[in-house]
Amino acid sequence: MLRFVLFCAASFAILPLSWRSLRDFRTHGFYRFFAFELLLALILLNAPLWFRHPLSLRQLAAWLCGVVSIGLAIEGFRLLRVIGRPAPTAQQGANLAFENTTTLVTVGAYRWIRHPLYASLLFLGWGAWLKQPLGLASIALVLGTTGFLFATAVAEEQENRKRFGTVYADYMRKTRRFLPFLF
């Protein structure tokens, strides 16, 4: 019951951030909302198992995913703020304030991958999945999260091509979406 209440409370907090995005399925925020919801459900589903057998190989791999997730998130947000220099836009779009960058960020984590923040969520999701890798609900939630994060990245790339033009197209040819040199 507590996990259900936490899910509802967190969903209620996420909804205002995504409200404008939910009106247009072509925006990356539309898909991101569902990725957040599925990730939240996955974390809450597996929360009771987070500290069981803390030194098992599976748990250590899950914690490593968590550490990578935190590192990518910190670096991604920092670079967007410092290098991307977000600025308010005249039109009230679906983007969150930090997403309205004035400069394309191509250094740090962004030198190797286009979406460090989504990669961070992927690592968080797969780390949460490792807590109960054989549960059918856990498998469905991590695959759903991954699918929606992929759709989010694809939609955002289309938006960025419109915003930054050929500079972004060149950037896409030099980087991978989520994992350096792989994917």
Q: Taking the complete model, does pTM exceed 0.85, yes or no?
A: yes
Alpha helices in the chain (DSSP H): 2-18, 28-46, 57-82, 116-129, 136-164, 166-174
What's residue 92's pLDDT? Answer: 57
pLDDT by residue, tens only, the chain of 183 residues:
899 999 999 999 988 888 888 888 888 989 999 999 999 999 999 999 888 888 899 999 999 999 999 999 999 999 999 999 887 765 656 777 788 888 999 999 999 999 999 999 999 999 999 998 989 999 999 999 999 999 999 999 999 999 899 999 999 999 999 988 787
CA distances from 44 to 19, 33, 90, 125, 128 (A): 23, 17, 38, 11, 9
Q: What pLDDT, on the 0 to 100 scale, is given for residue 182?
A: 83
User: What pLDDT does residue 51 have?
Assistant: 86
Domains of the chain as residue ranges with CATH: 2-174 (1.20.120)
Torsions phi, psi for 25 (to 5 deg): -70, -5
pLDDT, position 105: 95
Closest to 56 (Cα-Cα) out of 126, 132, 141: 132
Q: Say how far apart CA 145 and CA 56 lie, in whole Å.
A: 25
